Chain A
Amino acid sequence: MTGNLTLETLETHDGLRARGDPALPAVRLVLPLLVATLTLALLAPAADGRLREAVDAESRTLTLVLEQDPPQLDSTRSTDTVSIRVLGHVKEGLTRYDERNQLIGGVAERWEVREDGATFWLRRDARWSDGAPVTAHDFVYAWRRVQDPATTSEYAFIMYGIENAEAVNTGALPPSELGVRAAGDHILEVGFERPIPFFARLAAFAVFLPVREDFAATRGDRYGSSAADMLYNGPFVISRWSRGARLTLDRNPHYWESDAIWLNRIDFGYITADTRAELNLFRDGKVAMANLDSETMHNALQQRWRIHRFDDGVLFYVGFNHRPDRLTRNRNLRRAFDLTFDPHEFVNRIIATPGNRPGISLFPAWMQGAEGRLREEVPPRPSEVDLERARHYLELAREELGLERFPPIVLLTGDSPTANKQAEYLQSMWGQTLGLEIRVDVQIFRQRLAKMTAGDYDLVLAGWGPDYNDPLTFGDLFASWNLNNRGRYANDELDHWVRRAQNELDPHLRAQAFGEIQRIVAEDVVVIPTYERARLYVMHPRLKGVVRRQISPDPDFNRAWIE
């Protein structure tokens, strides 16, 4: 192992001692520098002097890595998973998911969702971290804030369906016209423009979290940018947030169910996206959990640690550009691509980290249907590979498009090593099976998005993660009006079933509608699902009660304990 290299380099300092004479006068140079170094050492803050341990049952402290500093923690504007994870520990919405991922009451004690609206009855013992009660007004203020165009909340669309939400968000109506009001301090009334049967589950999402108006008003633009510029109503509060360095959560004594919280402190003591550093910290006993990637997985295997896996909820697929001027608008061409792609080979041979599932449907395997798994209620068509038929469709497409031969087809992809590997495989596979020339266009994240939005591609490697726990979070992705439908797929039949799934209250009829959406996406080859991602991680054996889930906050340490 090359590990000795650094040590050798370090040892060259010892070489100095070997030679007596010329080194001696250098002492005069060394001495002042040494003094300077030591002074620096004394000046450096000593607050963190004690080296932290991963789990400490005595002080009930847990130390962890955070992949990035949360950009900001104003829940009405949060979009990234890290922010939503932190918010999920320091704030509580109307509803939340328990340890078995069942929806239960948070601030709301009970609720009722009707066709035209919903009512939430708030518990009277819910408190903010300054001791004041959490009231229905805090939700009204937060939701209006989300829809207020001045807030520029990117997730505002998720509330569309609430009366006047879209009109407020586009500036046609003032925020006070939003269809949500407080009937007293403890009853929240929500009006719908169209039925939202899964509204109670939607309400667990971050932008629905409460914000207290009097507090937010005193903070202005700074709200959510530091520990002192936030107010909490969750199991924990942020006691310290050194930007980019450390984020510490302490138990919130004002939380209404504080007795059920075992941990006193969750210390995100290290902020880095480097998985190798994360694993080294884990190995050194400094953090209780480490995510693994294809590289660090091998190290974890060598150490014979127990490796945990879970479905993180994200579906990856090859997207097509359906704009009129594109070849990929031709259905037979898309079918040719589809009939040559084998998701099993892709998962086992190309991605090759364990645990990923082959993509066979728009709806991932973990998605809930009417009663059980949606997949069991409306089974997807099995994927098939048929070279002969693929070539037949390709020939049909060539004739329909009136081409002599196919021009190069552009495959847009991100710049991660995994994305590159996948793109290279598809390039050579479609080159061999269909004789097509695939040009891989590697772009950084924001440029890939810009090109997708502008329609500057034929094929794209993309993915979609769920926002809320209902199949509609995937189901409406290719509705003609959905802005995230960046391939501009438009199909009246699909739109019809999406509307049915949106408006239908009967869970079995909804599941059927999702079945139809699944069928159309497969038959019309709107996209080719490639895989459902699994996450691998190692965890301290004494740490218990950590919940992993597809819908943030994930991972959830709220009810964790140390054995």
Chain B
Amino acid sequence: MWRYTVRRLIQGVITVWFIATATFAAMHMVPGDPLGSERATTESIRQNLEARYGLDKPVFPDQYLIFLGNMARGDFGISFTQQNRSVNDIIREAFPVSAQLGVLAVIFAALGGVLLGALTALNRNRLPDVIIMFLVILGISIPSFVFAALGQLAVVRLNDWTGQSLLPVAGWGTFQHMLLPALVLGLGTMAFLTRLMRSSMLEVVNTDYVRTARAKGVPPLRVFWRHQLRNAVLPVITVLGPAIAAITTGGFVVELVFAIPGLGRTFVEAVQQLDYTLIMGTTVFYGAFLVLMVILVDIIYGWVDPRVRLG
């Protein structure tokens, strides 16, 4: 178990290095000038800016090696757009926001996905199944910015109708602020998990061991909980790790629409602005986060299902 964990971690470090290198290369290949601004700058200011960000040296190997060295020390440098803030500070402030939102979204998604999935499987081809699966298709195919806008509009109507501020329309700071954005953020994943849970539940619904359990006179609830759900939930757990990372990182639109100061929004804005240091910082951070989640899930997987032997 320990040897396995250590090996996975070393693999993870290599993966992160690979992600960093690929992003570094891609970023410098993308056309555009990170120091360009609407008002043209004089040559001397331009040179000073380049020196400040180390762009006066050749991209390879100098800039790349400096970047790797700094990354190894966990220092991502100073942002190009927020000129007197370090990328580390920006991530430190923005990530907890995305994480809080993400955790709640994952809770919504996992809870909804597992329950709805099980429900559809047990009611296969009956009305609840048809309705839920129809909604699932909507959930998967409708992009989150549509849900975000509609959700916001629904809250405006609700507040208007009741004459009270039941839910905030946008903003950040309290738990109420998190509810709607988290739900919107989790909807896609919830729909995906529902479908996954449904097919995996269908597989176990009529397996031999379920039939045996029923024959032994085990109460239906216990059959569902012990024999069906526990076996069917495994694939869901497998995708949960990447799903957590995807949710925490994929919240750009939701963060924009709901005026939430998260990292997803920071990341996309950095890409739009060609903020080299911020792009590298967030990508490497997200990459490491994703790799860590996958490793964690692999370990949890072995714990949930003893048949999976690690080693």
A-side interface residues toward B, CB under 8 Å?
A: 2-3, 5-10, 12-13, 15-16, 18-19, 21-26, 28-30, 33, 36-37, 40-41, 44-49, 51, 65, 69, 71-72, 74, 77, 79, 149-150, 152-157, 169-171, 221-225, 242-246, 269-274, 276-277, 280-281, 283-284, 286, 443-447, 449-451, 453, 467, 482-484, 486
- Taking a contact as CB atoms under 8 Å apart, the answer to whether B42 and A170 are in contact is yes
A8-B135, A45-B174 known; A152-B48 Cβ under 8 A: yes
Contact A453-B150, Cβ < 8 Å, known A36-B107, A46-B174: no
Residues of A within 8 A of B170 (CB): 270, 272, 277, 280-281, 286
Q: Contact at A71–B82, with CB atoms within 8 Å?
A: yes
In this complex, what residue of A is CB-closest to B82? Answer: A71
Closest 10 CB pairs of A and B: A244-B261, A48-B173, A483-B40, A272-B259, A447-B32, A245-B261, A41-B175, A25-B225, A450-B33, A449-B36
Instruction: Please state if B153 and A3 are interface contacts (CB–CB under 8 Å).
Output: yes
B160 contacts across to A, CB distance below 8 A: 283-284
Could you tell me the distance in whole angstroms from the C-beta of B218 to the nearest C-beta in chain A? 12
**Given A3-B150, A6-B150, A169-B45: 8 more A-B contacts, CB < 8 Å:** A40-B100, A45-B174, A152-B45, A171-B44, A244-B266, A246-B171, A277-B169, A446-B34
Known contacts A445-B272, A447-B32, A483-B42: A245-B173 contact under CB 8 Å? yes
Give the CA-CA distance A120 to B155 in the complex, in Å: 54
CA distance A205 to B48 in the complex (A): 24
Give the contacting residue for A156; candidates B42, B84, B100, B183; CB below 8 A: B42
The answer to whether B104 and A37 touch across the interface, beta carbons within 8 angstroms, is yes
Roughly how many angstroms separate A19 CA and B259 CA in the complex, as a whole number? 38
Q: When the two chains form their complex, are residues B265 and A244 in contact, meaning their CB atoms are under 8 A apart?
A: yes
Which chain A positions have C-beta within 8 A of B33? Answer: 446-447, 449-450, 453
Query: What are 8 A-to-B residue pairs whose CB atoms are below 8 Å?
Result: A3-B154, A6-B150, A25-B225, A25-B229, A150-B48, A152-B52, A269-B171, A443-B32
- Chain B interface mostly: helix
B256 near A450 with CB under 8 A, answer no
Please measure, in the bound complex, the distance between the C-alpha atom of A486 and the C-alpha atom of B156, giving whole angstroms.
46
Asked if B224 is at the interface of the complex by the 8 Å CB criterion, the answer is yes
- Residue with the greatest number of chain A CB neighbours at <10 A, chosen from B36, B42, B168, B170: B170
Contacts of A222 in B (CB 8 A): 84
Tell me, yes or no, whether B68 is within 8 Å of chain A by CB.
Answer: no
Task: Encode B208-219 as 1/0 by CB contact (under 8 A) with A.
Answer: 000000000000
B132 CB, nearest partner CB in chain A, Å: 6
Contact of A13 among B112, B154, B273 (CB under 8 A): B112
| A48 in complex: contacting residue of B31, B128, B174, B222, CB < 8 Å | B174
Are A225 and B84 in touch, CB under 8 angstroms?
A: yes
Chain B residues contacting A453 (CB-CB under 8 Å) are: 33, 36, 40
In the bound complex, CA of A19 to CA of B156 (Å): 32
Partner pick for B45 among A149, A244, A449, A482, CB 8 A cutoff = A149
Q: Interface digits, B79-119 against A, CB 8 Å rule (1 contact, 0 not)?
A: 00111110000100110010010011001001110111011
Q: How far is the CB of B116 from chain A (nearest CB, A)?
A: 7
Residues of B within 8 A of A276 (CB): 149, 152, 257
What is the chain A residue whose CB lies nearest that of B173? Answer: A48
Given A15-B131, A453-B36, A270:B84 Cβ within 8 A: no
Residues of B close to A9: CB separation below 8 A: 135, 138-139, 147, 187
Which chain B residues numbered 187 to 235 have a C-beta less than 8 Å away from chain A?
187, 220-222, 224-225, 229
